């Protein structure tokens, strides 16, 4: 189901917050303007190669930093709000 149609269906069913995960899925929802908040977790490992998380987007997505938390295992998690 397309992002806008699924978001509309879930809203009609009473959903207020939906967790979206996975690079390609996030890209689709970002392009549709359906992402309000991003939580990015960085793991202290440099990858030699891989697939870009966000890929190419139609336009820049401006984020406002809300908070950042560090963990004992070296992970760092930052929360951002998408500015419209």
pLDDT along the chain (84 residues), means of 10: 95 95 89 94 89 81 97 98 94
pLDDT number for residue 80: 98
**CB-based contact 61:71 (threshold 8 Å):** no
Angle at 36 between CA 13 and CA 53, to 5 degrees: 110
Structural domain boundaries enclosing 70: 3-82
| CATH number of the domain bearing residue 34 | 3.40.430.10
Report yes or no: 33 and 61 within 8 Å, Cβ to Cβ: no
**pTM, 2 dp:** 0.83
Domain tally for the chain?
A: 1
- Phi and psi dihedrals of 43, rounded to 5? -105, 135
For the record, the structure tokens of 31 come out as: 């392009």
């Amino acid at each position: 189901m397309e992002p806008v149609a699924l978001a509309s269906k879930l809203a009609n069913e009473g959903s207020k917050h939906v967790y979206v995960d996975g690079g390609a899925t996030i890209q689709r929802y970002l392009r549709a303007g359906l992402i309000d908040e991003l939580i990015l977790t960085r793991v202290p490992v440099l990858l030699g190669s891989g697939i870009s998380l966000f890929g190419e987007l139609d336009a820049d997505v401006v984020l406002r930093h809300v908070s950042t938390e560090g963990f004992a295992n070296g992970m760092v998690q930052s929360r951002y709000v998408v500015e419209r």
